[in-house]
Chains A and B, each alone.
Chain A
Amino acid sequence: MMVLLKRYRVFLATFGLVLIMTLINRPLGLEALSITGFSLKEMLLVIPPVFILLGLLDVWVPRDTMIKYMGEGSGLKGILLAFFIGSAAAGPLYGAFPVAGVFMKKGVKFSNILIFIGAWSTTKIPMLLFESTALGVKFAMTRLLIDIPGIILIAYASSKALAPKEIRQIYENAETMIQ
């Protein structure tokens, strides 16, 4: 019970603040709670399949296979796969991090993991279609064309900025996130 309380203390504190906000400004607080309810529904709809898929991936796909396709030395193949998997994904960005965790456990190269995160956030195919209708094809395509090199650039710059020891620590931590 105490452990549970401790793990959810930030959530409970945030929830308390929203309740206080509701007491001060009722319409604003109710609006916040109603949008929260809506996002909660969205999360419960999209997140379960993402986690089931990462569970299946962890159990069925051997580490050697993942290393071969996306690990050190996977070259262009690994980069393209990272882009493809990220772009084909569904769901909000916070769903990408647990998947990245399993990728790390399976020995995927660090820069490919960062490319995957970038693709999930920026080049998702359903979102591009939506963006094209709302803001025009030219807008969406220009953004896509500039974002693809941007994602690669950010991925390599971030992995170069970290010491090998720091990257190893991140991988070790990922092992503990899925067991």
Chain B
Amino acid sequence: MSTYILYGVTLLLLALSFKNDKKKTKMSLKKAWKAFENILPEFLVIILLVGTLLAILNPEAISKIIGGDSGWFGVLLAALVGSITLIPGFVAFPTAAMLLQNGAGYMQIGAFVSTLMMVGVVTMPVEIRYFGRKLTFLRNGLAFLFSFVVAYVIGKAVGAL
């Protein structure tokens, strides 16, 4: 659905640009290609790492790591698993729902979902190319710590039901 909107908007703007100035349109497409080609090696590494990690850390494996433990140690494990993996939403949320059914607490799931989104160890190669090492480690580190706040609040607000 969102992909269709993205394509619709892109095609519309591209047509508009072409109508106004062919040369500028050509230039922007050239820039787009060069920017893509520039970062392609890092993209390919990420995709390969994600594929490998998802093969190893499948939902059953994640459930074994997160499911059994409760308390802050479980939250820490959940945050660590969430940080390294980069799982697309349509896999991540059903997995999280399954973990809940298998007895994981809301606090652990909160940490898992939060780090999954905010912290990306696998995407670091791309982040470093644009932002440098220091900021990349800083941003991911702060987001990792913040996920414990998220876990605590979700545990209190949702888990208390």
Contacts and interface: CB of A to CB of B under 8 A. Distances in A.
B34 A178 contact: yes
B84 to A, nearest CB: 14
A38 B2 CA distance: 18
B52 A55 contact: no
Q: Which of A91, A98, A157 has the most CB of B within 10 A?
A: A98
Contacts of A133: 93
Interface in A1-50: 7-8, 10-11, 14-15, 18, 21, 28-29, 31-40, 42-43, 45-50
Contacts of A32: 51-52, 54-56
A98 B39 contact: yes
B97 interface: yes
A122 B17 CA distance: 31
B13 A56 contact: yes
B86 A93 contact: yes
Contacts of B36: 47-48, 51, 98
A8 B44 contact: yes
A40 B51 CA distance: 10
Give the bracket for the number of chain B residues in contact with chain A: 35 or more
Interface size class of A (residues with CB under 8 A): 35 or more
Contacts of A55: 28-33, 35
Interface in B17-48: 17, 24-25, 27-36, 38-39, 41-48
A174 B139 contact: no
Given A143-B114, A143-B150, A162-B135, A56 B14 contact: yes
Interface stretch (B4-12, B63-71, B73-81): B4-12
Contacts of B27: 59
A142 B156 CA distance: 10
A142 B142 contact: no
A64 B88 CA distance: 36
Interface in A135-150: 135-136, 138-139, 142-143, 146-147, 150
A60 B118 contact: no
Given A46-B3, A150-B149, A157 B142 contact: yes
Given A43-B43, A127-B89, A146-B150, A135 B13 contact: no
Interface in A53-103: 53-56, 58-60, 90-94, 97-98, 100-102
Interface of A: 7-8, 10-11, 14-15, 18, 21, 28-29, 31-40, 42-43, 45-56, 58-60, 90-94, 97-98, 100-102, 114, 117-118, 121-122, 125-127, 130-131, 133-136, 138-139, 142-143, 146-147, 150, 153-154, 157-158, 161-162, 166, 169-170, 173-174, 177-179
6 contacts: A49-B9, A59-B24, A97-B39, A118-B118, A127-B117, A143-B154
Given A14-B48, A93-B86, A146-B154, 9 more contacts: A47-B36, A49-B6, A55-B28, A58-B28, A90-B2, A91-B6, A94-B43, A158-B139, A179-B34
